[in-house]
Amino acid sequence: MNQYHQYVRIKGNPATVKLADIPMLEYDLFFEQAIHILHNPDCRCVSYFAKPDNGALTCFIVLSDGAGDIIIYGYRCNERATLPSLTAKIPAMHIYEREIAENFGVTFEGHPWLKPVRYPYNRSYSDWMDSYPFYRIDGTELHEVGVGPIHAGVIEPGHFRFICNGEKVLHLEIQLGYQHRGVETLMADDSSLLKKTILSENIAGDSAVSHGLGFALVTEALSGVEVDERLAQERVIAQEMERVAVHIGDTAALCGDVAYQLGQVVCEALRTVMINTTQFWCGNRFGKGIIRPAGTRYPLTADVRDEIVKNLTKVKREYGQFTDRLFSLPSVLARFEGIGIVTTEQARGIGAVGMAARTSNLNRDTRKSNPYLAYRNLEHEPILMDSGDVMARAKLRADEVVQSIDRVLDMLDKLDYQATSATPNFGLAFAPDTLAISLVEGWRGEICHVAITNDEGAIDHYKVKDPSFHNWFALALAVRDQEISDFPICNKSFNLSYCGNDL
């Protein structure tokens, strides 16, 4: 057994480790050890990436053991190396290997489909998105349907290519990358900590608080800053409010897709109440500005508390009244139940996280498995659904809204309003030659930020993982054997991030 313990195990979240302490193995041993660890169903890969250095690559794999510990080790190889693929044994690794293959030309032998993730910048090949060969099946009965990148609504761009037999979807290929802005490159350049902080809030606007928090935790870990209890609680409150707002907005979208207009407008109005509450707190409806390294600009005062309590009490009552009605309407149930099923095995196989996992009865919730900030002291029990269909994803939202509102109201009740938190520090000094990692449970699921510093303590590599990175594949599986007309509601039920994936 001992040959499979060649890694560094660190406790806590966020966590740091000196680069020199991370074992670098031969690829064969790296490979066998990864398979050995990932065969444990509680373990999952939270990040796997390559850091380039003059044609050579240092690759790091970051695993969560499901009991709060983080396991890190790696290997070295050259760009355009050829290595056996982990994906053949552990399908959830497919997306990480695709990314490394795209960026550095590494060929993973045995990988079923080394399709590029993003295009066109920061990659090893010179081909272009327009010439990408979509998966195809030839047959006289089959036809293709292409949607996007510009969709009918006001949403982000992506391209969906369906292969259909009549109305029935045989296969959906999802082509992303249209939003690629080079976020990770900008996070690792020599710009200021202030700029990087704001950049982190702009990775995905609907998760501004969660991604901002992912970055703040990494910077604080790198500089040894421990935030006070009061701030730890405020951040959790902000995150739970973000979750409530998006879940209600998504309920509106789901109602819109089944032509239940009353439900759509009721939920839009309730979402407005939620995000206006956030705006009252910090001046921005999406919570941009709430999360800053080592401190806060917008302390949660008694005035803010009163506004939150008043509005959340109203939202809880009216949303509850509404969802009782929603889940008893035959016309809605007919469109929600049994549609877009993702089984537990499928969810585990693709490495689903967050909502997409929990609605398929896969218990993955960073707030429970790797608690951070005030979650360390909260008894958080993830809500699970077992049907894996659109109904489960709608119902999970409704239940999580209640859970989050109750939590916020409870925390506000106990908050020490005499305590004051520090103001932000944009002059933090980082430990040199260190890798820092943070895991945050955004409303979609697990967000992972990894920063690596050089010998001068400057960030020279940055890796962001949005839950959508895993979960887009869940959508592709959900629509198999469904009618193509069910695609919009399947899509809305996940509400995955384009820019979070494209970066």
Partner 1 sequence: MLDELKILRDHGIQYVKDLRGATLTPLFRGRPVVNLEVPQADVDALVSMCPSKAIGSSPLSIDLGKCVFCRECEFAFPTAIQFTNDFRIAANRREDLIVRAGEDKPIRLDESAIRPEIRKTLRNSLKLREVSAAGENSGEMELNAAGNVNFDMGRFGIEFVASPRHVDGVVITGPISANMAQALQVCFDATPDPKVVVLVGSDAISGGLFADSPALDRSFVEAHHIDLYVPGNPAHPLTFINGLMDMLGIEDR
Residues that bind partner 1 (CB under 8 A): 119-122, 129-130, 149-150, 152-157, 177-182, 185-186, 191-192, 194-195, 198-199, 202-206, 208, 249, 262, 265-266, 268-269, 272, 276, 279-286, 288-289, 297-298, 318, 321-322, 325, 423, 426, 497-499, 502
Question: In sequence order, which residues have a C-beta less than 8 Å from that of residue 375 and are 6 or more positions away?
Answer: 236, 367
Shortest CB 134 distance to partner 1, Å: 16
364 vs 449 by CB, closer to partner 1: 449
Tell me which H or E stretch contains 64.
Answer: strand 56-64
Shortest CB 196 distance to partner 1, Å: 8
**Residue with tokens 């955004």, as numbered in its chain:** 442
Question: What are the backbone angles phi and psi of residue 82, rounded to the nearest 5°?
Answer: -120, 125
Reduced to 3 states (helix: H, G, I; strand: E, B; else coil), residue 390 is helix
CB neighbour class for 301 (10 Å; exposed up to 12, middle 13-18, buried from 19): exposed
148 vs 371 by CB, closer to partner 1: 148
Shortest CB 424 distance to partner 1, Å: 8
CB count within 10 Å of CB 199 equals 18
130 vs 141 by CB, closer to partner 1: 130
Shortest CB 184 distance to partner 1, Å: 10
Q: What is the distance between the alpha carbons of residues 123 and 130, in angstroms, rounded to a whole number?
A: 15
Shortest CB 242 distance to partner 1, Å: 11
Under DSSP, the state recorded for 292 is B
**Do the Cβ atoms of 400 and 365 come closer than 8 Å?**
no
Shortest CB 192 distance to partner 1, Å: 7
What is the chain's alpha carbon radius of gyration, rounded to the nearest angstrom? Answer: 22
Q: What is the distance between the alpha carbons of residues 355 and 426, in angstroms, rounded to a whole number?
A: 34
**Do the Cβ atoms of 356 and 445 come closer than 8 Å?**
yes
Q: What is the distance between the alpha carbons of residues 98 and 111, in angstroms, rounded to a whole number?
A: 9
Shortest CB 400 distance to partner 1, Å: 19
Shortest CB 203 distance to partner 1, Å: 7
56 vs 198 by CB, closer to partner 1: 198
Shortest CB 84 distance to partner 1, Å: 31
Under DSSP, the state recorded for 122 is S
Give CA torsion, residues 384, 386, 390, 392, to 10 deg: -40
150 vs 334 by CB, closer to partner 1: 150
Shortest CB 385 distance to partner 1, Å: 25
Q: How many CA atoms lie within 13 A of 240 on its CB side?
A: 27
179 vs 233 by CB, closer to partner 1: 179
Q: Which two structure tokens, joined as six digits, stand for 490?
A: 């399947």
Least Cα distance to 437 among 463, 455, 467 occurs for 463
**Residue with tokens 């608080």, as numbered in its chain:** 209
Shortest CB 297 distance to partner 1, Å: 6
Task: Tell how strand 446-453 and strand 434-441 pair up.
Answer: antiparallel
Q: Which two structure tokens, joined as six digits, stand for 42?
A: 């509680």
**Do the Cβ atoms of 438 and 218 come closer than 8 Å?**
yes
Least Cα distance to 247 among 396, 408, 359 occurs for 396
Q: What is the distance between the alpha carbons of residues 398 and 405, in angstroms, rounded to a whole number?
A: 11
7 vs 119 by CB, closer to partner 1: 119
253 vs 451 by CB, closer to partner 1: 253
CA distances, 252 to each of 198, 239, 258, 300, 489 (Å): 29, 20, 10, 29, 12
80 vs 317 by CB, closer to partner 1: 317
Burial 216-247 (b: 16+ CB within 10 A, else e): bbbbbbbbebebeebbbbbbbbbbbbbbbbbb
97 vs 502 by CB, closer to partner 1: 502
CA distances, 466 to each of 66, 195, 396, 404 (Å): 19, 20, 20, 21
**Residue with tokens 């887009």, as numbered in its chain:** 472
186 vs 384 by CB, closer to partner 1: 186
75 vs 472 by CB, closer to partner 1: 472
Shortest CB 222 distance to partner 1, Å: 19
